[in-house]
Amino acid sequence: MATSQPFEFRRSRDFGESFSALFEFLRQNWKNLSKSLVLIAAPLILILGVGGGFLISEIFSTLQKTTFGMPDFTQHIAVIGFEVFVLGIIYFLTGAAVLAITCEYIHLSMNGETEQFDVSFLWAKISSRFWWHISNFFVINVVGFLIMLPFMIILGGIVGLGGIGNIEAIIITYMMIIFIGIPITVYIGTMLSLFPMMRITENIGVMAGIKRCFFLIKNNFWVTFGYYFVVGLIQSVVGSFFMIPFYILYVIAIITIIPQAAQSETGMPMLNFGFGFQIAFTVAGVLAIGGSLLLNSMTITAHAIQYFNLVERKEGVGTMAKLDLLGSTENTAETDDSGEEY
């Protein structure tokens, strides 16, 4: 029985070829990849979805039963803040898990180790580099936040010191965010997209990896950004289908429950969704969050394809490996010929 050839990542591809390669890889590997994502990341997604559902319910309950500025309101807000912090950590771990699963699976597929695939083998690979994957996800997400943080501090300071009436300063700050902060964040984010797959493939350190990202993205930013932008649009369209159950439930709530709700002392509607409706909302939330997170594997794969594309364009690693292999094959053939007897 002939085995299929591993997907060739180490190739220089143009814009259209990159899209063809992305969907070809997903078509060939979607069973193994989706199985891995479900078995490894699903428990975290379930916790995130259920926790998010209860958090929304608790926020509504707090707004209905308490008044702003009262001690009980402050206490409830403190509890909600803690729950948001815990869910943020779970979201971080879930995103890191999806990143680790996709990158490690790609690395296995490049070595032809996915023919008889086993999720436990992939999990062993992820576990052996657990902190690498955590740091990868941390770097690509926190750097953008740190870039925008000074602008947010400036805006908060202006509002806090000068009040909302200081319109000119607020407008100037927003213009700085739009024309300075966002472009820098987009550039850094596009550059760091190469970072996770690079670290696994090249076994490189954090600072050396960031420096190498700048080298690879130089003179290739716009084609990379355009490729990512289109992939992001496709992912958003597909991901919107996972939101349909949530939207349907929301419309039902507006039509049937909210107009009939009595008002509390604070003027907020006293919503009583019922246990069955809350369960339905939770399931819809799990589906929406899980679908969006699992679809991130498509974007991560696109980043990996672009990483190998840029490496080939600048260094030709795959081409040199093929030439070395070709030379080795020719030498072997000559040795075999010289040993023949007639």
Rounded to two decimals, the pTM is 0.80
Total domains in the fold of the chain: 1
Distance of CA 304 to the CA centre of its chain: 13
Closest CA to 97 of 124, 128, 125, 137: 137
What per-residue confidence (pLDDT) applies to 191?
Answer: 93
Q: Is residue 2 classed as helix, strand or coil in its secondary structure?
A: coil
Estimate the crossing angle of helix 130-162 against helix 195-202, to 10 degrees.
150
Domain-embedded: residue 21: yes
d(CA 315, CA 308): 10
d(CA 227, CA 225): 5
What per-residue confidence (pLDDT) applies to 20?
Answer: 92
**305 and 20 Cβ atoms separated by less than 8 Å:** no
d(CA 148, CA 131): 26
Domain-embedded: residue 4: no
What per-residue confidence (pLDDT) applies to 65?
Answer: 62
Which residue is it, tokens 């750097």? 143
Domain-embedded: residue 3: no
What per-residue confidence (pLDDT) applies to 3?
Answer: 44
What per-residue confidence (pLDDT) applies to 340?
Answer: 38
What per-residue confidence (pLDDT) applies to 67?
Answer: 57
Residue-by-residue pLDDT tens, the chain, 342 positions:
344 566 888 888 988 899 999 999 999 898 899 889 889 988 888 888 777 777 766 666 666 565 555 556 667 677 777 888 888 888 899 889 999 999 999 999 988 777 778 899 999 999 998 888 999 999 888 887 888 788 777 777 766 665 555 677 778 878 888 888 888 889 999 999 999 999 999 988 889 999 999 999 999 999 999 999 999 999 999 988 888 887 887 777 667 655 445 455 555 555 555 666 677 777 887 888 778 878 899 999 999 999 999 999 988 765 555 545 445 545 544 444 444 342
Domain that holds residue 136: 15-326
Domain-embedded: residue 272: yes
Closest CA to 193 of 129, 117, 116, 139: 139
Domain-embedded: residue 334: no
What per-residue confidence (pLDDT) applies to 198?
Answer: 94
What per-residue confidence (pLDDT) applies to 99?
Answer: 93
Domain-embedded: residue 331: no
Domain-embedded: residue 224: yes
Domain-embedded: residue 7: no
d(CA 130, CA 97): 9
